[in-house]
Amino acid sequence: MSRNLLWDVLIALFCCRAVYYGVQSYALELGQEYLLAVGATGLMELGIGFAMISLLGRVMGSPEEWELEEIQT
């Protein structure tokens, strides 16, 4: 695994946790447990989903790189 990929994974995890705790503290201020349960978990899962799509794109490479590999072989 490259350093860039590991760095992306760490940033994605920290960002998801930050969003989770941010929504959790806001929901606690409002005193609504339903918002806490649904909103925080949903946003965290959404963040993880976007992070995984981004990481998959980095691992797979771009179509330009694929064309360069075909030309070189």
Give residue-wise pLDDT tens across range 22-43: 777 666 666 666 666 666 677 7
Mean pLDDT of 45-70: 70
The answer for residues whose C-beta is within 8 angstroms of residue 8's C-beta and 6 or more apart is 51, 54, 55, 58
**Contact at 8 Å (CB) between 47 and 12?**
yes
**Contact at 8 Å (CB) between 55 and 12?**
yes
Range of the domain at 56: 3-72
Assessment of whether the complete model's pTM goes beyond 0.85: no
Q: How many domains does the chain have?
A: 1
Provide the 3-class DSSP secondary structure of residue 48.
Answer: helix
